[in-house]
Amino acid sequence: MSQAMAPTVRRQNVRQNHLQKKLYIWGGLALLLILAAFFSDYLCPYDPYVQDMSMTKAAPSAEHLLGTDRYGRDMLSRVIAGSKTSIYATLLLVSFITIFGSLVGIICAWTGKWLDTVLMRLSDMFLAFPGLVFALAVAAVLGGGVHNAIFALAAISWPKYARLARSQTLAQQAAVYMQAARMAGSSNFKLIRKHVIPNIAGPILVTAMLDIGTMMMELAGLSFLGLGAKPPVPEWGSMMSDTRNLLPTQPWVTLAPGFAIFISVMIFNLLGDTVRDYLDPKNRR
Amino acid sequence: MNYAIRRFLQLIPILFGITFLSFLLMYLAGSDAVTEMYSNRGVEVAQEIIDERKAALGLNLPFFQQYLNWLGAMLQGNMGISYVTGEDVLTAFMRKLPATLLLTGSAVAVTVLISLPCGILAAVRHDRLVDLLLRFGSFLGNAMPNFFVAMLLMEFLGIQLGILPVIASGTDIESAIMPTLTLAIAMSAKYLRQVRSAVLEELNKEYVQGARARGVSANVILWKNVMKAAMLTIMTLLALSIGSLLGGTAIIESIFMWDGVGKLAVDAINMRDYPLIQAYVMWMAIIYVFVNLTADLLYHYFDPRIRLGGSAK
């Protein structure tokens, strides 16, 4: 049932090749999603903003594959156009918290003393708030809009990266090679750039990749509550909340953006899992 | 017991931090609380009256002075009154809290009922068909935002099959089923994985192999040894995941019109009723901190390695 498998070289090779293949597949799909979001203006069969009052609440048909909403706007076009807001906002958010959090973490580990204490206590404060609760309040104070929603979620999620980067940097600092590099006359900046960052990038990257899906769902959640993108800008979360009273009669209108979130999150989660396995030293040749 | 005291002391700065951040938020937003209050009531008043009110409420004092005044009032249970209804904020919050606790409690119960057996089964049948199916299911659940799950349940259970009310008509059992299921599905998807890996980790320890070699039956090993050891981790993880549940209730309550603090907060956000938002944020954080503390203390109390062995980890 649970005997440890002997990690023979051959078995590891097979596993590594398999992982590489998965990495290409999920990475390719994720890239496709990002490109689709980028070129969404050209991909939409109709203008996502144009209202056609003769075609309101139409069922899916050959003309309108996902039907139309209550203003006669083509749902497929709106879902495609929504990818731009949803996917780019998520990627922006994740890159921001990854870079900002990691920098704080590295600075804490490097300088130590009071700055470390102050910043870490500050991150404890943010971590004391459960999940979306604090983000809700921040977004409420800032008053909606995609940028404010990004800021609200960034405010609650940077501490995770700061702690990770801090502990990873501390581990690197203790390593013998670091002392050697320091004795060879490397400046602090060079030590961080040449030795710390390349060595701690792996775990941080994995955390960031696995966070993309979660962040996409939380952004959509804030938009759903009216604290993210504002209509008529197409965004998946706000589209669902906008059309939720159509659920009994035209469920496709409400559910289509939901499936879009579901599929995108799934692809990014699969990519994240694969990157994690790929970078795991246990699977290395 | 020393540990418990230390943990309590560590809590003090955190609680200060929570109150400080909650106050800061409100300060940044409601620097013009008085104007907001009058405009919410639909009255047009002269600037002098506004300034007078501000002075009376101490809103032109320095920031830290205001914070200390607010903290003092808060400790006496006075968190201000709602801009919209004029009701005492704390009373309003406490009145709605039981409904949310009920929903959270039932969601946790359903989560445990789903993910504990499934997680153990997946770990025991590691890499077999059942395990793959369960992992696939939890993977799907992990990729669904909770409001999407809510919509799907509404569509299939509420509209297509018509067996459950789509909108809560109160806080009765029938209305509670769909919001509970929504929260439980999202939480089970995460928790099942954690249970599985906790049990799997324990199953891979050498003593299990030893026991098996001595001919101890698989059932005895699983229930008497492995589960006993894995249970602690499993319970701690459950307490930790309550945080995401508390945040998730806001969306779910407002979708299903469940009359709890989450819906209260979302309504307050739409009305820019800042004192209410502040009370919600602060009390949710305090509840969360205490849930975590309890979990941590129980862990320390029940783990004999820590209770008896001192600092050994």
Residue B310 has pLDDT above 80, yes or no: no
Q: List CB contacts (< 8 A) between A120 and chain B.
A: none
What lies within 8 Å, CB to CB, of A258 at 6+ separation is: A236, A240, B144, B145, B147, B148, B151, B152
Report which of residues A206 and A74 the model is more confident about: A206
**Is B42 or A210 the better-scoring residue by pLDDT?**
A210
Q: From CA B307, how far away is CA B300, in angstroms rounded?
A: 6
Phi and psi, residue B89, nearest 5°: -65, -45
What's the pLDDT at A150? 92
Contacts of A124 in chain B (CB under 8 A): 13-14, 17
pLDDT on residue B42: 65
Q: What is the mean pLDDT of chain A?
A: 85
pLDDT computed for residue A3 by the predictor: 46
Of A252, A239, A235, nearest in space to A90 by CA = A235
Range with lowest mean pLDDT among A45-54, A208-217, B59-68, B209-218:
A45-54
Cβ neighbours, 10 Å, residue A135: 25
Closest CA to A90 of A223, A269, A213: A213
Q: Give the type of residue at A275.
A: V
Does pLDDT of B312 surpass 70? no
- Is the model more confident about A76 or about B44? A76
Q: Quick one: average pLDDT of A102-122?
A: 89
Contact A269 B124 (CB under 8 A): no
Selection from A177-191, B16-30, B118-132, B157-171 with the highest mean pLDDT? B118-132
**pLDDT band, residue B52 (cuts 50/70/90):** confident
Looking at per-residue pLDDT, the higher value among B28 and A201 belongs to A201
> With an 8 Å Cβ cutoff, are A125 and B143 in contact?
no
Residues forming a β-bridge with B81? B88
pLDDT classification of A2: cutoffs 50, 70, 90: very low
Q: Is B164 on the interface with A (CB under 8 A)?
A: no
Give me the mean pLDDT over the A118-124 stretch.
Answer: 87
Q: What is the average pLDDT value for chain B, to the nearest integer?
A: 83
In DSSP terms, which residues pair with B88 in a beta bridge?
A: B81
Asked if B204 and B230 touch (Cβ cutoff 8 Å), the reply is no
What does R_g of chain B's alpha carbons equal in angstroms?
24
Position B40 pLDDT exceeds 70:
no
Q: List CB contacts of B50: < 8 A, sequence separation 6 or more.
A: B34, B35, B38
Per residue in B192-246, pLDDT tens?
A: 999 999 898 888 888 888 888 898 888 888 888 888 888 888 888 888 778 778 8
Of A132, A244, A269, the CB nearest to B143: A269
Mean pLDDT of B275-302: 86
The answer to whether residue A4 scores a pLDDT higher than 60 is no
- Answer whether A225 touches B (CB < 8 Å): yes
Predicted confidence at residue A283, as pLDDT, reads: 64
Q: How many CB pairs under 8 A join A and B?
A: 157
Entry pTM? 0.86
Predicted ipTM of the assembly: 0.85
Contact yes or no for B269 and A136 at CB 8 A: yes
N-term to C-term CA, chain B: 17
Q: Among the listed ranges A1-15, A200-214, B57-71, B286-300, which one has the minimum average pLDDT value? A: A1-15
For each of the domains in chain A, give its residue range(s) and CATH number, in order of start.
10-46+69-283 (1.10.3720.10)
- If you average pLDDT over residues B54-60, what whole number do you get? 69
Closest chain A C-alpha to B153 CA, distance in angstroms: 11
Q: What is the SS3 assignment for B88?
A: strand
Compute the average pLDDT of residues A261-266. 94
- In percent, the amount of chain B with pLDDT more than 70 equals 89
User: At CA A98, angle to CA A95 and CA A101, rounded to 5?
Assistant: 140
| Partner residue facing A137 (CB), from B151, B203, B281 | B281
Higher pLDDT, B114 or A283: B114
Chain B residues inside the 8 Å CB shell of A136: 247, 250, 265-266, 269, 277, 281
Distance between the two ends of chain A, CA-based, in angstroms? 25
pLDDT band for position A284 (50/70/90)? Answer: low
- B178 close contact with A: CB closer than 8 A: no
Residue B302: pLDDT over 90: no
Contact indicator for A261, A235 with CB cutoff of 8 Å: no
Structure tokens at A1: 């049932």
The pLDDT confidence band at residue A164, using thresholds 50, 70 and 90, is very high
Nearest chain B Cα distance for residue A11, angstroms = 17
pLDDT class of B155 with cuts at 50, 70, 90:
confident
pLDDT for residue B35: 67
Which B-chain residues 230-249 have CB contacts (< 8 A) with chain A?
242-244, 246-248
Count of C-beta atoms within a 10 Å radius of residue A41 = 11
Chain A residues within 8 A of B247 when measuring between CB atoms: 130-133, 135-136
| Backbone dihedral angles phi then psi of residue B22, each to the nearest 5 degrees | -65, -40
Which of A62-66, A107-111, B175-179 is predicted with the least confidence, judged by mean pLDDT?
A: A62-66
Q: CA of A86: how far to CAs of A9, A71, A83, A147, A264, in Å?
A: 43, 22, 5, 12, 10
Q: Which of B152, B247, B270 sits opposite A133 (nearest CB)?
A: B247
Please give the pLDDT value at position B41: 64
Question: Of A9-18, A182-191, B121-130, which has the strongest mean pLDDT?
Answer: B121-130
- Mean pLDDT for A128-157 is 86
Range in B148-152, B169-173, B292-296 with the lowest mean pLDDT: B169-173
Q: Do A4 and B285 touch (CB under 8 A)?
A: no
**The pLDDT value given to residue A5:** 53
Mean pLDDT throughout B236-265?
A: 85
Q: What value does the mean pLDDT take over residues B49-61?
A: 72
**What is the distance in angstroms between the Cα of B267 and the nearest Cα belonging to chain A?**
10
